[in-house]
Amino acid sequence: MLNTRIPAFITALLLIGVCFAQSEEKKIQQQEQPVAAAPAAQPQKGRVLGIGGIFFKSEHPGPMREWYAKNLGLSGQGGEVMLHWREKDNPQQERMTVWSIFPANSKYFEPSQLMVNYLVDDLDALLERLGKAGVKIDPKRQNAPFGKFAWIYDPDGNKIELWQPLDPANQKLN
């Protein structure tokens, strides 16, 4: 008849293995526990909220607009397309991104062929911070019925437009 008793050293090895496995399982469970988030700090003023516009030049803006309308569904009044969206942190706030093709001889965003417009929450604060950081800032400013504009240049010399829309509550320029 076979001896069914497990020798003591095998029992000890099994117990050590079980304890080790349980210890490792606890470590994994502790690592998976969500960490309490630190209280959110107030966001810095002068932040980019989204893309306010995408503009580029074409030798043939009319046919180019037709191509984009036919193939990508980008069509709108006067050649500009308004793409509406809502802010992630403030879904009640509707925004839009303007997409437009300019004639090749347009000087609006020289020296670039393409210009991105960034929607910002505080143009003055952003320009102050960028100036301190040594970013090239165009001295020109524009106040329009729909917001304030300024321009900066990236290290490659591409022109970037910054736009602070009017505060809908005030409907006036700051």
Q: What is the domain-level CATH number for residue 124?
A: 3.10.180.10
CA distance 59 to 149: 26
**Residue 123: predicted pLDDT:** 97
Please report whether residue 106 resides in a domain: yes
**Residue 80: predicted pLDDT:** 86
Helices (H), 7-119: 8-32, 61-72
**Residue 12: predicted pLDDT:** 36
Please report whether residue 27 resides in a domain: no
* Residue numbers in the chain where pLDDT is lower than 50: 1-21, 35, 38, 170-174
Instruction: State the total domains in the chain.
Output: 1
* Closest of 111, 138, 124, 134 to residue 47, by C-alpha: 124
CA distance 163 to 92: 20
Q: What is the pTM of this model?
A: 0.66
State the residue range of the domain holding 86. Answer: 48-165
DSSP-derived 3-state class of residue 69? helix
Please report whether residue 98 resides in a domain: yes
Q: Which amino acid is at 28?
A: I
**Residue 167: predicted pLDDT:** 74
DSSP-derived 3-state class of residue 57? strand
**Residue 13: predicted pLDDT:** 32
**Residue 77: predicted pLDDT:** 78
**Residue 129: predicted pLDDT:** 93
